[in-house]
């Protein structure tokens, strides 16, 4: 669940206005911390939701069943695909909220925003297979870390590839040796929008 959505959810549940200061008090942190996390579009953990429920004496997670204490609620886009080969078609951006154990994240920060989409193609195999679900840590102005796997939009198509910087170029790499590396030149850098780093992969066996 997005922290930015909590104020409205609590206000509706309690029938009275709830502000950031009140939410901060429920979690034992400062209002500025809450404000910063909202700006970063961060997620609430289930343990944080439990604290908020106890503080306000309200049930706001009864719609989500079977959550563990370390689960994270993230946005899942079942009809959005990033291509591991040539550009994939992006379908509806309808989303649903799902819970994911923190152990599925290669690293997790409650100050970051996360979402999940699908991968298509085999150019990132064996690291990513066709049909895998990708947990993405959203970028918020950070520099590309060489050889990490990113989801990005290039000329209106979504891709998932390893990226590396080379002076005024970005090198686009595939893990499958059958695919050649590509170069996004300086004149085309305005056409690339890095959405986030892949920090988790869910594979159906």
Q: Which tokens is 98 given?
A: 């799902």
**Per-domain residue ranges for the chain?**
3-56, 71-202
Distance of CA 19 to the CA centre of its chain: 25
pTM for this structure? 0.68
- CA dihedral sign of residues 125, 105, 37, 43: positive
Q: Which residues touch 61 (CB under 8 Å, ≥6 apart)?
A: 1, 46, 49, 50, 53, 67
Is 118 within 8 Å of 81 (Cβ atoms)? yes
CA-to-CA dists, residue 31 to 14, 44, 62, 109, angstroms: 20, 15, 26, 19
Neighbours of 52 (CB within 10 A): 21
pLDDT of 38: 85
The residue assigned the tokens 């890095």 is: 194
* Confidence at residue 169, expressed as pLDDT on a 0 to 100 scale: 93
pLDDT for the residue numbered 69: 53
Provide the CATH topology of domain 3-56: 434 Repressor (Amino-terminal Domain) (1.10.260)
CA atoms within 13 A on the CB side of 45: 15
Predicted confidence pLDDT, tens digits, the chain (205 residues): 677 778 777 877 787 888 889 999 999 999 999 888 888 878 788 788 888 888 988 877 654 444 455 677 788 888 888 888 766 666 667 777 777 888 889 888 877 889 999 999 999 999 999 999 999 999 877 789 999 999 998 888 889 999 999 888 999 999 999 999 999 998 888 889 899 999 999 987 6
pLDDT, tens only, 151-192:
998 888 889 999 999 888 999 999 999 999 999 998 888 889
Residues whose CB falls within 8 Å of the CB of residue 91, separated by 6 or more in sequence, listed in order: 79, 80, 81
**CATH topology for 71-202?**
Umud Fragment, subunit A (2.10.109)
């Amino acid at each position: 669940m997005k922290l930015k959505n909590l104020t409205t959810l609590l206000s509706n549940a309690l029938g009275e206005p709830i502000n950031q200061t009140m939410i901060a008090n429920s979690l034992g942190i400062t209002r500025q911390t809450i404000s910063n996390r909202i700006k970063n579009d961060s997620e609430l953990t289930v343990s944080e939701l439990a604290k908020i429920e106890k503080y306000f004496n309200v049930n706001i997670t009864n719609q989500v069943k079977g959550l563990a204490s370390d689960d994270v609620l993230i946005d899942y886009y079942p009809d959005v695909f990033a291509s591991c080969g040539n550009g994939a078609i992006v379908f509806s951006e309808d989303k649903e909220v799902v819970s994911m154990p923190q152990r599925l994240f290669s690293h997790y920060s409650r100050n970051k925003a996360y979402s999940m989409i699908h991968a298509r193609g085999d150019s990132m195999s064996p690291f990513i297979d066709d049909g895998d679900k990708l947990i993405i840590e959203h970028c918020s102005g950070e520099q590309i870390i060489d050889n990490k796997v990113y989801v990005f939009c290039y000329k209106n198509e979504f891709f998932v590839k390893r990226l590396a910087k080379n002076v005024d170029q970005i090198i686009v790499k595939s893990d499958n040796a059958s695919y050649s590396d590509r170069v996004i030149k300086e004149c085309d850098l305005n056409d690339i929008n890095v959405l986030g780093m892949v920090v988790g992969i869910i594979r159906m066996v």
